[in-house]
Chain A
Amino acid sequence: MSLKQLIENCKIDDTKAQGELYKLFSSKLFSVCLKYSRNYAEAEDNLQDAFLTIFKKIEQYKGKGSFEGWLKRITINTVLQRYRNEKVFDIINENIIEDVELEVDESLVSIDYLLQIIQELPDRYRLVFNLYVLDGYSHKDIASMLNINLGTSKSNLSRARQILKRTIEDYKKTQQSQSL
């Protein structure tokens, strides 16, 4: 069955087609959920909500643009919905340090580790970092998606980078001291 046909069948609430669609896209979308959520369990909750929204709104998908992009957008929106209202202290006046280059031994930082430190970020930092760095949204988009102003988005991003950098450096130090 072509993807187009599959989408059409999903539009008429065909359970089989819905299962098929889930099989095709769940791992891609779950990775999105993992990055944006606090932990594995919440990521699963978000994935579930995202798919329910997808099946509800699939009628609105008119075949314009990539279907995967559409799915991803809905997933991100679902996650944002959950965290949008949780307040994070906005640090606007802090000096923005742009020195975020660091030396990494890539064998030391596994994908699991990266995921873990992203998830440990405070909500708003995590969201901004994900949106900007990993999913390529502009600060303008992010500001409107999170209902914050442009400056906040920028400072949140820079703060996220700093935290991540420090975490990785600390991690490296402990690794090195362990290996010494």
Chain B
Amino acid sequence: MRDKKHIDRLFQEGFKDFEATPTDAVWKNIEAKLNQKKKKRRVIPIWWRYAGVAALLLLLLTVGGTYFNVTDSTQQNNDIPQNQVVETENTTYEKVNFDGTNPTNDSEKTENVITDNPKTQNNLNNASETKLEVPSNIITPSKESSIAESASSKNENESKANFPSNTILNSNSNNLINQKNIKNVAVISTPKNNNNFKNSPKKLQNKIAVAVSDDETHGHTNNGVKNKASLIDTKKAKELINNPLQSNTIAEAEKETPEKTIVESKASPDNTLTIEEAIDENKDVLVEETNQNRWRVVPNAAPVYFNTLGEGSSIDPQFNNNSKSGELNMSYGISASYAINKKLKVRSGINKVNLGYNTNDVIVFQSSGLSSNTSALRNVNGNGASDSVSLISAESLDSEAPESLTSSNTSINQALGYIEIPLEIQYALSNKKLGINIIGGFSSFFLNNNEIFSEGENGNRTFLGEANNINKVSYSANFGLGLNYQISKKIDLNLEPMFKYQINTFKNTSGNFTPFFIGVYTGFAIKF
């Protein structure tokens, strides 16, 4: 049979169903190479990962620990003379005050509200509110009911805005109840300081009771228990103020607690049960490892805005009510992140941060003779030049003060510089070309600049000295949203608005001074 046909057709038809079986040796070779690779891949990356994390933690703990110990001892030294000046009761209030505004507590409480069922939610809200407002309750007696002695003036007028409406309506008799309440809360919150938020003895009991039936190593369950237990505590506190009708709901809540714990403890074995699964997960990670760019380095810069949430002053009690205005500064640095899996990244880095804020409505005058001790600022170590300059809050002056004096308003500018080392976790909500991430973590701050200036209306800056109440090492809790736009396979453009709530920044602030800062971090991520 002879045909004239295109040469392409000839080959196409010829190879249409062409299949050929390779020799067995091929598969044997492949198998051998696969096994080789598995061994290599299994050992090295895991070792790398854990060693990396361990080294990082070790570094942070060592550095943090040494600095922290140093500041602790100085703090104690500072505290002693202060106790002599301020009345003892007052200082305990202050401590309670700190507790009330402690972020960890806040979050704990909100968690409680969330986890609770709707039936008890209202009560709960009340309970947590009363606890939150405790500081203001403590402060009020000095002004409103005069039960407590006329304590130091610095707490006056403070955080009035925080009063829940029913507290304001309280009569004197209620204030007595409040006092009771304060005592209870004080009992609850004092051990908190020592025991790392393990609240009252009551709560500890609960915890122990649960721990018998429950394995302590299950972090989840413990958390659950803690929340529940502290929930009951707040309720107990509430019970003392309100009529006993509510004890029913409390009993209910208590009944619920063990049930829930049981459920949780049942669920927890599932989490830890399959080691095989865990190994499989590791395998997943290893396979990915060959395909993904796990590391990225991001040089970044950010405008940062520093301000305080509550009223108060880090400089001197007399400025508690003065208006404060945050300052816009810059932070820049470099960070590196490592992708544990597709969704989770761990990141750290180093940043230089400048922060600053102004205390407005301050009057500066030259004292003609010797500088009076009374007008020296509590938390500022003056330098020689500024000794003759005195500062007074304009608010503390009477209205009869001469016009000329009040009109010459200046502000006190406090400037801080830090080296920031963050340790954050980034969770990817979306991994597309435009990625969206949630970021959370904490930062350690190492102080490297500390200056206080007075700033006149005409722009004159006079160096006053440095603050003596700033910790060398402080921390912050960080939350933020990360957006990254993939420019190429190797480069991303990042935009990360971050909120950093500062912890342990000042040793000795007056009033409710809770500093924070906001930064919008932008940078290019280089992936490799």
Instruction: Mark A residues whose CB is within 8 Å of B.
Output: 11-13, 15, 18-19, 22, 26-28, 30-31, 34-35, 43-44, 47-48, 51-52, 55-57, 59-60, 100-107, 109, 111, 114-115, 118, 129, 133-134, 161, 164-165, 168
**Chain A hits for B3, CB < 8 A:** 103-104, 106
Whether the Cβ atoms of B10 and A109 lie closer than 8 Å is yes
17 contacting pairs across A/B (C-beta < 8 A): A13-B286, A27-B21, A31-B18, A31-B20, A35-B18, A43-B22, A44-B22, A48-B29, A56-B291, A60-B291, A102-B7, A104-B10, A109-B14, A118-B11, A161-B7, A164-B7, A165-B7
Segment with Cβ contacts to A, from B31-39, B102-110, B363-371, B503-511: B31-39
Q: Determine if A102 and B19 form an interchain contact, defined as CB atoms under 8 angstroms apart.
A: no
Q: Which residue of B lies closest to A160 (CB)?
A: B7
B2 in complex: contacting residue of A27, A31, A103, A164, CB < 8 Å: A103
Contact A26 B11 (CB under 8 A): no
Contacts A11-B287, A52-B33, A161-B8 given; 18 further ones with Cβ under 8 A?
A: A12-B280, A12-B284, A13-B38, A13-B283, A19-B27, A19-B31, A26-B21, A44-B22, A48-B26, A60-B291, A101-B7, A102-B5, A103-B4, A111-B14, A111-B18, A114-B10, A133-B11, A164-B7
Given A11-B287, A12-B284, A57-B291, residue A102 in contact with residue B22 (CB < 8 A): no
Residue in contact with A55 in the complex, picked from B11, B12, B34, CB distance below 8 Å: B34
Against A, the Cβ 8 Å flags (1 = close, 0 = not) of B32-63 are 01110010000000000000000000000000
Q: Which residues of B contact A129 (CB under 8 A)?
A: 11
Distance to closest chain B CB from A52 (angstroms): 6
| Contact (Cβ within 8 A) B15 A35 | yes
Q: Which residues of chain B from 41 to 89 have a CB within 8 Å of any chain A CB?
A: none
A residues in contact with B286, CB < 8 Å: 13
- B149 at the binding interface (Cβ < 8 Å): no
Q: What residues of B have a CB within 8 angstroms of the CB of A47 in the complex? A: 22, 26
User: Nearest-CB distance from A18 to chain B (Å)?
Assistant: 7
Q: How far is the CA of A109 from the CA of B4 in the complex (A)?
A: 14
Which B residues are CB-close (under 8 A) to A114?
A: 10-11, 14-15
A31 to B291, CA, bound (A): 28
Among A13, A18, A31, A165, which residue has its beta carbon within 8 angstroms of that of B15? A31
Chain A residues touching B, majority SS = helix
Q: Tell me which residues across on chain B come within 8 A of A15, comparing CB atoms.
A: 31, 34-35
Beta-carbon contact of A30 and B20 below 8 Å: yes
With a 10 A CB-CB cut-off, give which of B31, B34, B288 has the most chain A CB atoms.
B34
With contacts A59-B287, A134-B12 taken as known, whether A52 is within 8 angstroms of B34 at the C-beta atoms is yes
Q: In the complex the two chains form, what is the Cα distance from A82 to B378 in whole Å?
A: 77
Nearest Cβ on chain B to A64's Cβ, whole angstroms: 15
Q: Given A12, A56, A100, A118, which contacts B283 in the complex, CB threshold below 8 Å?
A: A12
Contact with A along B273-294 (1 / 0, CB 8 A): 0000000100110111011000
User: A85 CA to B35 CA in the complex, in Å?
Assistant: 30
Q: What is the distance, in angstroms, from A176's C-beta to the closest C-beta of chain B?
A: 12
CB-nearest residue of chain B to A28: B19
Tell me how far the C-beta of B267 lies from the nearest C-beta in chain A, rounded to whole angstroms. 25
Which residues of B from 96 to 134 have beta carbons under 8 Å from A? none
B25 located at the interface, meaning its Cβ lies under 8 Å from any Cβ of chain A in the complex: yes
Which residues of A have CB within 8 Å of B287? 11-13, 59
Return chain A residues, CB-CB under 8 Å to B35.
15
| Alpha-carbon separation in the docked complex, A35 to B288 (Å) | 32
